[in-house]
Structure 1
């Protein structure tokens, strides 16, 4: 009888209806897990191909002008990029990947941490709802006015739909995370979170026509301290201020969310990130390491010097400090420890060398500064060459003497020109990357964005068809990762643009400039104060966030004392690069420590001399402008 019942249950479970339900559930689960990811990868492949076609058509096949390809490829790529950016932001929320400051919140009891997280999520959800609501209104307006894109005459409503659709997906992911977090949460923690959110919104309900600056910066600092992702902290603090003061119309938000990134130069960021991720995990990095080893491996501290030189090479490919640390640290930190280096110093060297990735071109922070400050990205890149090389040389010298004192030597005993030339020839495909990126830009053949797209396309071709160390699954993973990483940065720019409107309205930059000039009118003292301030900011805030928030405030002051905006960009990026190796943020430190599986305290002990070295180079870059500007002036002539 029991067997008959079991057979009956099996037959019922295998009915067409049950199979259909099972397939439906699997489909829903697949879409939930892969929806944004697949579209991001498809989008990345599409605009990498389109921009490469644009370059190919201009120089290789100029006799075949495909339907005015330069115009429509750029337009289509920009709009796909906008959609991909918001999709990536949604995926980042799903994966809980964001730029945020959690040093204080992490010290709270676990229950209170959960309550604060609920309060933050409530505000982020409400902000997303407002963007969806007013974004929908904006789309209707676009349909009513019949506005179309310049090249393809496509309704602008389609392009603008990226904003409400993107924030709708973000809201869905926020709700999913909230449901997951509250599943095992005690009721009191949920109630505390809700009450906390209500208390935090009271100023909006009661202050009315209060000072815009007080509300804006008060809320921003509060949300940062409570661990809200910095991008949302910018947006939510602006929304709270607007609700209290009616300073600007709320329908300005979705419009700015679109126009702030409808910008071809900013597309260099995802391209460089993709190029760095693709080339950082394959044979290219190993060939660069081998070349550096042949050049310097025979000296005291050979492997540490190799780490610095390889960082300089790879920086000219990836444009990212953490990417450089991850790629080089994975291979070199264990090798250094095996040769007798102290684990803390071996890890610290890689972390410090990774800072060169944001100074030497191409550099994502320089791209962001160029976009925010409206300065030439090409000029910023060339201004970073000498400071980047100077930083590398200074770190090499200090590391050499430390290693010589400690008796750390490599396996090689002498320099071999034959082996070096052979290693250089073996690494030729890697060495070509900075040549055609920088040569293409400064030769006038490509814009920085086109050069970045060519680098990404080149990395795909090299990885899949020449070195064959990346298959289609690897390409998918790399592009999905690039999509998330770049989208976090792009969302930061979107929110900072919204935040910046109120900064402009309140003339915050002028107030800050007048305050500092009131302390001293001496240019050198003001530069010293700027450095001290930016170094402090680097301690607690991620570099890209600091750039988009502080550039509109500090740049007018720098201009007022006669500092070239390109030079100021290098000063700012150099200060924030030092923040990469200083806790509590110190992203390079944490990446390197994670690779080495060391406590952060051990790495900090080894970073001292290298940190002082970078501060000395910073002062040289600050007070000798020609270090940054000599090549720029030469190119201008």
Structure 2
């Protein structure tokens, strides 16, 4: 199972002494303030640039001069407007640095709470005492990694102080933003020690010693020799750390660190610089903004209004509430960009409603879990952002390419639900439905329906970049929740902000560690070697695509989508481009493959969310998923072999 949860068993959220709570929640005010500051800064940047461009265009128009003649000098106004362009030059740089700081600060909380993306299938099958011992080893490995990065980060800051350089826009010393490396990773080390202490004090001493000894044993080969094969170390240690249950981000970082130490692939001091520069990226900032937009709008009551509209459209048909659930997931997908978030926001409303109306509880949970997968296909989509950054492909083109495949997936699921519901006698709610009630529901949902218009319209209208559109969507959700629907209180805003930053930080640190992993692969020419190997077997485009589909479906069973994208894109992209596959089409194909992984047992994240809402067992839910899974795979094959469907709107 891949976890993204709190380990309450350790008492991390128990009420305690004020000082203890203060130390435990030290990062939270910084995360809350930082997220809101980022949103406001990028909204200011977007509004300022758009307004300035519009004014410059107006002043440059032929009819402007005669109209204002005698009142103002048009040329002087034009020069003043051009000089004002510098007023917004600082915004992007400041927002990027705040983003990096809050991302790494939030990781320390994920360590303390033991949240993170893990492959813990083996871990969960072990006896309880063995699991506890393994947690000591996991924390030990984490401590080695973050301590090394803290030390390397401190060395880099000292170098910046010795040879000062200033940032282009803010004109501050580079050492200031880079201070997050010793501070952030140092705080992670402190949180890891806290986790070790809490785990160890409840265990026999011999088990604690055994766990620490396992940590030492894992690093012993590279401590004894530095002449190992880089490829063997990189992939061997990565798989080993995954099997042990180390969070995937740290498994990537540890595999890279061990390879550098054991094979000398890169200077070890270079790793800290990669940890900073790899996420010092404006496009990557779209991820926390889109997550925040979805969280704010879910907490602000927009999902409930979307459901009312979906029920108005299809609620009278057999399986009406289930069909409305799928339609609402499609609507919400255009807001959140996250599969599990879509299931949580929509399923918490629709699953209990379906059960109350007589639907089978497994059917209700299955429908929402599968429909939630559409959340990463229809734009905006966080996996598309990650793929776009990894593959250097236009995020805007990926967004537009995901629309048709997402709608086809949703339509296919609705057909299956209709047939199953009619067979079982699950009919829609009998009540008056008319143009008047439809218009009333549409009016109630108007603020939610405006989000895709703002995001996609802003991007494709040339007004905003994807990151700016995400920031505008987050600010819009904030305003609607606080001042229009008034369902987002300050307390819920605090919790929503922590949730948004916490989720995004797990993705961000994953990308940073994957960049280290990818740099080593590039130096060792591993992607080219794999591509040449497969092409030596067959150069048939369709055969290669079916092999990649099977491989990605298998990977999706065990690994979270974003982790798979950052690891596999550098490996697979050279192969598919060599046989003439469009990188945008391959991005859609890859995301659809991994979206199916959200609902494939044993580790589908959507299944866990839906089962928790419906209060049904994962095993029972897995037995009911296969019909829907086959339909989703059929849609995947259709999109794979008819690329014009994903490229239709480009």
Q: Answer yes or no: same fold by TM over 0.5.
A: yes
> Matches of 1:403 and 1:534 in 2, distance apart?
31
Q: What is the number of residues matched between the two proteins?
A: 608
Match of 1:333 in 2: 351
Aligned to 1:382: 400
CA contact (8 A) 2:300 2:482 kept: no
Query: Secondary structure of the residue that 2:419 maps to in structure 1?
Result: helix
**1:394 maps to what in 2?**
412
- Report the CA distance between 1:161 and its aligned residue: 1.0
Question: Which residue of structure 1 aligns with residue 376 of structure 2?
Answer: 358
Task: Give 1:519's aligned residue.
Answer: 537
Give the equivalent residue in structure 2 for 1:121: 139
Q: Distance in 1 between matches of 2:428 and 2:455?
A: 33
DSSP 3-state at the match of 1:98: coil
Asked whether 1:502 is paired with 2:517, we answer: no
Counterpart selection for 1:462 from 480, 484, 487: 480
After superposition, residues 199-598 of structure 1 pair within 5 angstroms as 199-412=217-430, 415-598=433-616
CA RMSD in angstroms comes to 1.4
Deviates more, 1:192-201 or 1:330-339: 192-201
Which residue, out of 31, 36, 40, partners 1:40? 31
Q: Determine which of 142, 149, 158 is the counterpart of 2:160.
A: 142
- Residues 109-153 of structure 1: CA distance to partner in whole angstroms, max 9, x if unpaired? 122112221112112111111111111111111122221111111
Distance between the aligned counterparts of 2:118 and 2:332, measured in 1?
27
Checking the alignment, whether the CA contact within 8 Å between 2:401 and 2:585 is kept in structure 1 is: yes
Aligned to 1:104, the other structure's residue is in SS state helix
User: Partners of 1:281 and 1:224 in 2: how far apart?
Assistant: 34
Work out whether residues 395 and 613 of structure 1, in 8 Å CA contact, stay in contact via their aligned partners in 2: yes
8 Å CA contact 2:348–2:613 kept in 1: the answer is yes
Distance 2:430 2:97 in 1: 53
Kept in 2, the 8 Å contact 1:104–1:226? The answer is yes
Q: Secondary structure at the match of 1:90?
A: helix
5+ residue gaps in structure 2?
1-15, 56-80
Cα 1:390–1:148, aligned 2, differ >3 Å: closer, same or farther? Answer: same
CA contact (8 A) 2:299 2:496 kept: no
Q: Calculate the TM-score normalised by the size of structure 2.
A: 0.92
* Residue 266 of structure 1: how far off its partner (Å): 0.4
| Alignment partner, residue 19 of structure 1 | none
CA shift digits 1:59-110 (9 cap, x unpaired): 3466688672432111100000000000111111111110001110111112
**Among 152, 171, 181, which residue is 1:163 paired with?**
181
1:459 deviation in Å? Answer: 0.7
TM-score normalised according to structure 1 size: 0.93
Separation of aligned partners in 1, 2:19 and 2:425? 60
1:8 corresponds to which residue?
Answer: none
For 1:69 and 1:582, the matched residues in 2 are separated by 50
Deviation at 1:26, TM superposition (A): 5.9
Which residue of 184, 189, 207 corresponds with 1:189?
A: 207
Deviation sequence 1:15-36 (CA, Å, 0-9, x none): xxxxxxxxxx966424312211
**Does the aligned pair in 2 maintain the 1:339–1:410 contact within 8 Å?**
no
Distance between the aligned counterparts of 2:435 and 2:426, measured in 1? 23
Pick one of 43, 47, 63 that aligns with 1:52. 43
